[in-house]
Structure 1
């Protein structure tokens, strides 16, 4: 069997690309013939995947600053269509195509190429771009989680985009282009969810086949952390509005508490200015993150959007570090029901401040830590189990539920 893996970028900046490359590694180890299509220059594939058939477009993602030509190319990238078509024609071997990211470079054009062939197509839903024009199911102006039917008249009329309404219209048109491939194609595509609660948000439209495979996760520290002896409050993630860093900054300033905020993003400088009493270093090495996690009392995941999984939260839980999570995160119910952390009202700095105050109780933190470690041991598959299950999906040994 042959696997063609598809992703916008080859360099790991977040969980989606990390998972994509893990899929490639698992397939290679299982003896599958592998190829990969990426929209960037492919440099992130070296040296680990240097021997794998690679097609790299050499383009830059929209997040690095859109250009005028992107108005057309990122709605329907003809070069991506031709590259996908070329890869599909290279071999008569039974083929499965696994798509991870396409919204930054490759565009919906790849699906038009796939629809012309009787190959097995799988898409991992790392976000909600399968049916939500802005990909986050969030109104970036009101801060509310969006419950409007995607691509409806109400959706079209709603200015929810992080930039402006004209950009919303462009995104809306791109999603129409995506669905324009046709129901016959989309009704045969298998959707891999990173959290089972995503399915309820993705049922709009012709998607029919779902399965859940949570992202493989490793603890941040070698063993459980005795958090009740520590004082460090930690945020680890992208510095952007939808990740809730402004809510966190407001809560920290309300309470005068110090915290460590690790990560890059468009709001990094703003956070450094807003929190002069905190440690906001930007990105750090894995070794330094592990050291600071060992000093953590609690991790904060303040996302405004319905965070599909929350990899950092899972990593913290596996280390016995309780988490304070936003009510909009899909993992929030699981954390609350297992006593593994605290939940605050999404976007509400006062609510987050109240939960931060609760962490002053050492006895509570000991109980939360023990429950966090317990939940962490079963929250996600091991890397080996995940790799086996992913290959089973490729080989047809694991089925998708049908609506």
Structure 2
């Protein structure tokens, strides 16, 4: 199988990791690095991304599988219009909710409530739910209209790989029809299992943003007088450092230092306000035997409780979080949850080998049509994949 990787940035990271792949790079920067005036148009419909993908698809008569991972930051919905012009099989891995939700989070960033509106319905369009402004929401709506205008027939045929099975309830019911789950492989936070009941460190690891719940965590820590280690970058880093002077808030750290600190963790906190699709870092903590305290909005909340791998608090409720933190004073409880987390961590995500095998099976499982238009159900010998 030939593999070509189309990326929006300079592609150096992909070239380093996958030297045998053909890398085609636009050399542009993502929205998170700052918004420019031209981005208002380019990030709605990036004509260079369209032309690049259209050219790649036109350059070969081999059967092609196109696997889309991320497009919102640089590539834009224009790539779906290029895909709709060609007879290719399109697979999209849903790492977020941008396939259907204009703000990508299925969350009202003003109220902190999970959004129950049908995406792009009148209620959705009138809701001021964006993290920046209603004007920005309207721009996002315009981009969603661009995305949808690739055509109903196109979107009906797109296959969606979910990072967590509970994502389907937020993505189904519209133009998308085909779903399957393949969780992202991950590795333990630490080199070996942690005897959490012997430790005393409360640990947070993630982006310092409102939707990740760091303000809720800060309120819970200040209200209870507790300490914690909060590792991560983001727009709220300085604010959190200022409001939690009694905690260790170093910013981002090297993996070796994260390993050292996690080895001394009693429990891990994932306080996300949004319906966190998976929560890789929480899975990594459980794989290390570190029990977790997760928000009720996290899609893994039910399985955490069901497998005695941690505790669940009411999303956005600092008092509820403080209560769960206080419960972790019990060595008996922490030991039970630590052991439960470690056992569940063995099966929470596929190994790298299993993930690769499953992904190849997904590629091979498609139904291709021969030159007469008849479906063959057989993967052709000459095939390429574009990521």
Q: CA deviation at 1:52?
A: 2.4
Pick from 230, 234, 238 the counterpart of residue 265 of structure 1. Answer: 234
Pick from 200, 206, 209 the counterpart of residue 178 of structure 2. Answer: 209
Q: Distance in 2 between matches of 1:337 and 1:46?
A: 41
Pick from 155, 163, 169 the counterpart of residue 200 of structure 1. Answer: 169
1:324 has 2:296 as partner: no
1:87 has 2:56 as partner: yes
| 2:370 equivalent in structure 1 | none
Pick from 110, 113, 138 the counterpart of residue 141 of structure 1. Answer: 110
| 1:77 equivalent in structure 2 | 46
Q: Distance in 1 between matches of 2:154 and 2:136?
A: 27
| 2:331 equivalent in structure 1 | 362
Q: Distance in 1 between matches of 2:113 and 2:193?
A: 35
Q: Does the 8 Å CA contact 1:150/1:204 hold for their aligned counterparts? A: no
RMSD: 1.3
Q: Distance in 1 between matches of 2:12 and 2:80?
A: 24
Pick from 208, 218, 231 the counterpart of residue 249 of structure 1. Answer: 218
Q: CA deviation at 1:234?
A: 0.4
Which runs of 5 or more residues in structure 2 are unaligned? 368-387
Q: CA deviation at 1:51?
A: 4.2
Higher RCO, 1 vs 2 (CA within 8 Å, ≥6 residues apart): 2
Structure 1 range deviating more: 169-178 or 54-63: 54-63
Change over 3 Å in CA distance of 1:389–1:397 after alignment to 2: farther
SS of residue paired to 1:187? helix
| 2:258 equivalent in structure 1 | 289
| 1:372 equivalent in structure 2 | 341
| 1:344 equivalent in structure 2 | 313
Q: Distance in 1 between matches of 2:308 and 2:201?
A: 20
Q: Distance in 1 between matches of 2:45 and 2:12?
A: 24
| 1:181 equivalent in structure 2 | 150
Q: CA deviation at 1:50?
A: 3.9
1:152 has 2:121 as partner: yes
| 2:70 equivalent in structure 1 | 101
Runs of 4+ in 1 over 4 A off after TM superposition: none
Q: CA deviation at 1:297?
A: 0.2
Q: Does the 8 Å CA contact 1:129/1:136 hold for their aligned counterparts? A: yes
Which runs of 5 or more residues in structure 1 are unaligned? 1-31, 399-403
SS of residue paired to 1:324? strand
- Give a deviation string over 1:145-194, Cα, whole Å, max 9, x none: 10011000110100000000000000011011101111100111110001
Q: Distance in 2 between matches of 1:100 and 1:79?
A: 18
Q: CA deviation at 1:45?
A: 2.1
1:128 has 2:91 as partner: no
Q: CA deviation at 1:274?
A: 1.1
Q: CA deviation at 1:57?
A: 1.1
1:391 has 2:360 as partner: yes
Q: CA deviation at 1:133?
A: 0.3
- Give a deviation string over 1:244-292, Cα, whole Å, max 9, x none: 0000011011111111111111111111111111111111111111111
| 1:334 equivalent in structure 2 | 303
Q: Distance in 2 between matches of 1:126 and 1:397?
A: 21
Q: Does the 8 Å CA contact 2:15/2:21 hold for their aligned counterparts? A: no
| 2:11 equivalent in structure 1 | 42
| 1:166 equivalent in structure 2 | 135
